[in-house]
Each structure stands twice: as C-alpha cells, then as structure tokens.
Structure 1
Amino acid sequence: MTLRVLVVDDHAVVRRGVVAYLDALEDVEVAGEAGDGRAALEHLARAEVLGSLPDVVLMDLQMPVLDGVTATEEVVRRFPAVKVVILTSFGETERVHAALEHGASGYLLKDAGPAEVEAALRAAVRDEVFLDAAVTRRLTQELRTPRAGLGALTAREKEVLVLVAEGRSNKDIAAHLLISERTARTHVSHLLAKVGLTSRTQAALLAVKEGLVEPR
C-alpha cells in the first residue's frame, strides 16, 4: 500500500531532509509540506474536500502560529482517519507526552534513518506501535504511572498490554490469543480506560516502564 505523508516542520532544511528520505522509500508518497500547525490543518481541510487526505502527518512540536501538540489534537479530532507521528528531539519529552495524550500514534527522532521512518509510518497506519529505544528510555523516565496502575487490569488485559507494547495490531493480537478482532479491540479499549491512557503508544510506554517488555 502506498503511504501518503504530510510533512510539518517550521524549519525548511529539516522538512527538505525528511522529504528526501520519504522520496527514497518505495510505496511512500509525499502528500505535501507545511511550516506550522495551522498551515497543516488548512492543507488537510483542502485535501478532505478533494478526497485525498494523507495517511500520516509527520508533525514537529515546536512551531510558530500553532504548535505541534495543539495541531495534533485538532488533526485527531477533525480528521480521525489520519494518523500523527511526532518528529522529536531528546529535549522535548514533555511535549511528546502531551502529543501522545492528544492522540498521536508514535514518535521519531529527527535524525532517524530511512528504515526507522518507514517502520514508524507503517506501524501507525496499521494501528501498531513503533518505539524508538533511545527515545522510549527517556520518555519512560518521565512517564507518570497512572493512579490505577497495572493492578486494575485483568490477567487477559495485561497479556494484551504486552502484545500492544510488542507492536502488534488488533488483528495480530486476535490471532495470537485465538479471539475475534472485535474482542481484541474491546480488550485494548478497556485497558486504556482502566489506566487512564488515550493511546496505544502510551500503553506501550507504560509496559516498558513497568518492566513487562524491553524497548526495541
């Protein structure tokens, strides 16, 4: 499947570097570029009218006019079919957590290689989790453990949490546990609600923090 990607970053040099990476990948198409969150939302609104929304938005966090966290929230609210993957640096963990709370599907370091970029994009559209090991370690150090904690989860929900953290989609979870995809989706929704999280990536970070899985 060809992935269509909108690249959002206020630094033209960074944008051009990311676009060059994407252009070198098979079955990945750059759907456009934007220099701030508001421009990204305007691009998506036009694309929606034309029936050509991208599959993923690669979103910078620190931008003028409209920052990446607020823009992520708006993308998820207004264009739910579009996934958001955050472009981050080591110093932005607080903003990354905020973006994940607002529905971002994952994150990438700005100096990630082409293979990592492609893996994160494809994981997002398959509703899977891609965790960059270096960023994950930094994020989990600052992750606030939900008040309910893992004790609120059933044994099956903990099992599902581990599978989510391993990057598996609902379809993969269903096949592994010999249950229906609908049941797998219900387990994921329930465990997120119980621990007060909003995204699979947050859940995966919690699993790493609690020692259930190792960051890849």
Structure 2
Amino acid sequence: MSPKKKTKKIPKKKQDRSENDLEAKYRRSVLDVAILQDHIAVQCESVRTVQSDRIDLRRRARDMDQKLQHERQDHRDVNSNISRQYKTMQTELINKAKGLETDVSQLNEELALCQEELRKEKREREQMEQEKDATIAQLQHKLDNMETDYEKILHDTLDSLTSQLSAARQRQEDTGTTFHQNYQGLLSEFGLNALDI
C-alpha cells in the first residue's frame, strides 16, 4: 500500500487567499478561454473567408485558365488561318508572277517578231520605192527619148511634107504654066487673045 499523504492543515486565511487566487485564476482562465474562443472564432471565420476566397480564386483561376486556353486556341486558329491565307496568297502571287513572266516572254517574242516583220516591211518598201524610182526614171528616160524621137519624126515629116508640097506646087506651077501656054496657043490658033477673055 501506498503511504498516506500527510495533509497539512492550511490556515483559513491562506485558504481564502488560495481560493481567491484560484477564483482569479479561474476567471482569468475563463476570460482567456473566451478570448481564445473569440480568437478561434475569428480565426475560423478568417479560415472560412480564406477558404471561400481560395475557392473563389481557384474558380477564377480555372475561368482565367479556360479563357486563356480559349484565347490561345483562338490565337492558334487565327495564326493558322493567317498562315494558310499567307501561303495561299503567296502561292497565288507566285503563280501570278509566273503567268506574268510567261506573258512578258510571249509579248517579247511577239515584239521581236513584229519588229523583224517591220524591218522586213521597211526593207521591202524601200526596195519597192527604189524599184519604183528606177522604173519612173527609166520611163522618164524612155519618154524623153520618145519625145525626142517624135520631135525628130515630126520635123522629118514636116520637112518631107514641105518638100513634097514645094515639089507639088512646082509641078502644079509647071503644069499650070504648061496648061496656060497650051490654052494661049489654042486661043491664038483660033485667033483669040487670052487677055481679052
């Protein structure tokens, strides 16, 4: 068995004081407990507010994350669309440039052909003009020769006609004189005077 404790007898004054101390301690403890409970209640309220804020922040973070994901997806879609449009436009421009280069090449070939044809036409025209000028000069020379020949023929013909007319007049005069003399002779045979008739 355990030894019995010896109880000391505390005097009453001391006992009242102890009870007062104990009561003060109890009150202080109750007050401390109340303060601690208030503090715990405040802390609990703070924790609830923090948890509510954390839930709200998580929800907002999820919303922001979803929004960011949507924006990233939209950005990717826009970039993809712009890239596709850029590639399409680049392809169209390359094709258009190739088409224009082909057109320019064809037009240059046509221009070269047209220039060659123009040079050929000019040469032919110059040659025709030279031939025409030569023909005109030749014809002018022939015309001048013919004019000279015709003048000569005309002069010869006129000279021939003049000489023929002179010869004919001379024959006429000779014939007329002969006839005149013959008539005078016949008239004198008949005894007539030609001056009287």
TM-score by length of 1: 0.10
**Which entry has the higher C-alpha Rg, 1 or 2?**
2
